Structure 1
């Protein structure tokens, strides 16, 4: 079984995969200081709860946008699972797509992994909107060339900045104002909900429209990340949502970079 590890700025997702199927997934907050032993204790308990032995994990792949976290995650894989993890890095693995940028090494691993998965699933030109700590807009051509994109502060990051900088404003959840309240807030909370949520919808629609206008062919827009489903319900700019897009990309990258003789499925009890 494959252990796919996606390290984001806020959370790390561990996913246990068999073939193309995501069997289990777990999430832990990202910490630069967490040791391999701490990861192991936490992960082994979760594996035990699902009736899975650590011995069933025979491969691993890591994508990280937090370089200091990489060492201990590699150590986790080597010490506790006896596998050498594949690390997503430009120039070191076969990505299955080209990078049409002056400096490919600048691109975050998560953005490339999303591009790999989306290009494999949907035909034609794509815009991938990933709602994370930052919201990224990534462009992939119909021929499989990663062409860049845009980076904006994520909704929760924007909300935190507003809460911390304005003494009288409360912390609120990212959601639209209650049904029937419209976009003109009649109290502070509704006004903040309107500005944050509908303002963000405007950002999504505006950037998607601008990027699409620069593309030679029609585009399909894919949403992923924690808030993708929420925004998808309130805008037609996003055509599809795949919450597991990054993990699917890691599965595909592992398959591309693993010899056929080793790329087999292992059954477990």
Structure 2
């Protein structure tokens, strides 16, 4: 079985796959100081709860945007799963898609993996929106080529910056306002309107501009933890793919094994 690891700025997601079928997934806060031994103890317990053991894993693939976290994840694969891991974006792993941008080496591994997964699952031109620490908008054309995109502050990051910079503003939850009105009557309501509907307006405006620039019918695919929340409050999304990065990693592993 394959252990796919997606190490982001906020969380590391581990998924156990049998072929392309996800059997289990787990999430832990990203901490570059966390050792391979600590990962192994944690994973061993979770694998047993799902009826598996460490011995069931015979392959590991890693995508990370946190370079300092990579070493301990590689040690985890080699020491406990007894297999050299594949690392997305490093030899011998080949992306298998064109990165049609000015600086291909600077594109985050998670964004390329999302492009691979999205092109496999959906036909035509695509905009992939990934809600993470940052919110990324990525354009994948009908041939599967990655054409570029947008990086915006994630909604939680935006809220944290607002609260940190304004001494009298309280911490609020990320949720749709109770009323559809955009004229708040309390400080909390005004903040919630500004953060939530402001973010929706930003997404809808950027997607409209991207679609106009692409000039062809384009589907919008959303992924990441807040994808469902925004899907219920905007009509820009054509599909939600919560496991898009993991599915892309599984496809990348298949290609690398064939090579």
- Relative to the length of structure 1, the TM-score reads 0.94
Unpaired runs of 5+ in structure 2? none
Matched with 1:240 is 239
**Secondary structure at 2:257's aligned position in 1?**
coil
Answer yes or no: is 1:255 the counterpart of 2:251.
no
Separation (CA, whole Å) in 1 of partners of 2:135 and 2:180? 27
The change in CA–CA distance for 1:230 and 1:240 in structure 2 (over 3 A counts) is same
In 1, distance between residues paired with 2:38 and 2:31? 11
- Please name the residue that 2:62 is paired with: 62
TM-score (norm 2): 0.98
In the superposition, relative to structure 1, how do residues 177 and 191 fare at CA in structure 2: closer, same or farther (>3 Å)? same
Residue 216 of structure 1, CA deviation: 3.2
Which residue is equivalent to 1:75?
75
Residue 203 of structure 1 corresponds to 202
Q: Deviation of residue 129 (structure 1)?
A: 0.3
Q: In the superposition, relative to structure 1, how do residues 27 and 54 fare at CA in structure 2: closer, same or farther (>3 Å)? A: same
Q: Is the contact made by 1:131 and 1:225 (CA closer than 8 Å) also made in structure 2?
A: yes
* Cα separation, partners in 2 of 1:143 and 1:168, compared to 1, 3 Å: same
The runs of 4+ residues in structure 1 deviating greater than 4 Å are none
Q: Does 1:127 align with 2:127?
A: yes
Structure 1: gaps (5+ residues): 261-269
- Please list the CA deviations of residues 4-26 of structure 1 after superposition, one character each: whole Å capped at 9, or x if unmatched: 00000000000000011110000
Question: Aligned pair in 2 of structure 1 residues 177, 218: CA closer, same or farther (>3 Å)?
Answer: same
Contact 1:134 1:153 in 2 (8 A): yes
Counterpart of 1:97 in structure 2 is 97
Q: How far apart, CA to CA, are the structure 2 residues paired with 1:253 and 1:33?
A: 27
CA contact (8 A) 1:139 1:149 kept: yes
| Distance (whole Å) between structure 2 residues aligned to residue 89 and residue 181 of structure 1 | 44
In the comparison of the two structures, how many residue pairs are matched?
Answer: 259
Identify the residue that residue 186 of structure 2 maps to in structure 1. 187
Whether the 8 Å CA contact 2:92–2:256 is kept in 1: the answer is no
Partner of 2:168: 168
For 1:113 and 1:13, locate their aligned partners in 2 and report how far apart those are by CA, in whole Å.
14
Distance in structure 1 (CA, Å) of the matches to 2:258 and 2:194: 51
Counterparts of 1:100 and 1:255, CA distance in 2: 23
- The separation in 2 between residues aligned to 1:67 and 1:222, in whole angstroms, is 27
SS at match of 1:98: coil
Q: Provide the rounded CA distance (Å) in 1 between the counterparts of 2:103 and 2:129.
A: 22
Q: CA deviation at 1:259?
A: 2.8
Contact kept? 1:124, 1:219, Cα under 8 Å? yes
* 1:71 partner SS: helix
Range that drifts further, 92-101 or 66-75: 92-101
Q: Distance in 2 between matches of 1:174 and 1:21?
A: 31
Shift in Å, 1:190 = 0.8
2:4, 2:246 within 8 Å by CA — same for their partners in 1?
yes
Match of 1:31 in 2: 31
Show the counterpart of 1:267. Answer: none
For 2:51 and 2:128, locate their aligned partners in 1 and report how far apart those are by CA, in whole Å: 35
